[in-house]
């Protein structure tokens, strides 16, 4: 199962608040695709605010935050930790999330 740190949960709760989402809503971690400079599409992980999990999602509650993991990511993220990126991470500015 994916573990979410207190710092990551706080950042995601703040994002929910900015969007006006209620406390009962959750964060869905989903598979998505992004365009690369080469014109090809690459697989990525995205976050959305969701009222309920989608069919097949793994659901948990950690640090007061409901988390829904896309069924295609459950195995990939098993044993990983979602955390806030360190300020000294190269090439990154501002707060962000990272899987460790």
Q: Find the range with the poorest average confidence among 3-12, 51-60, 81-90.
A: 81-90
Q: d(Cα 92, Cα 94) in Å, to the nearest integer?
A: 7
Global confidence as pTM: 0.83
Q: Please provide the average confidence, as pLDDT, over all residues in the chain.
A: 89
Q: How many CB atoms lie within 10 A of CB 80?
A: 14
pLDDT tens sequence across 10-22: 999 999 999 999 8
From the candidate CATH numbers 2.60.40.680, 3.40.710.10, 3.40.50.300, 2.60.300.12, the one assigned to the domain spanning 3-99 = 2.60.300.12
Q: Which two tokens stand for residue 66?
A: 């409901």
pLDDT tens sequence across 58-80: 999 999 999 999 999 999 999 99
- For residue 76, give the DSSP letter: H
């Amino acid at each position: 199962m994916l573990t979410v740190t207190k710092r990551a949960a706080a950042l995601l709760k703040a994002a929910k608040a900015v969007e006006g989402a209620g406390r009962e809503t959750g964060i869905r971690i989903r598979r998505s695709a992004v365009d690369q400079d080469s014109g090809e599409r690459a697989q990525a992980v995205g976050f959305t605010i969701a009222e309920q999990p989608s069919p097949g999602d793994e659901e948990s509650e950690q640090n007061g935050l409901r988390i829904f993991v896309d069924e295609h990511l459950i195995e990939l993220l098993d044993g990983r930790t979602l955390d806030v990126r360190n300020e000294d991470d190269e090439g990154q500015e501002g707060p962000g999330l990272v899987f460790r």
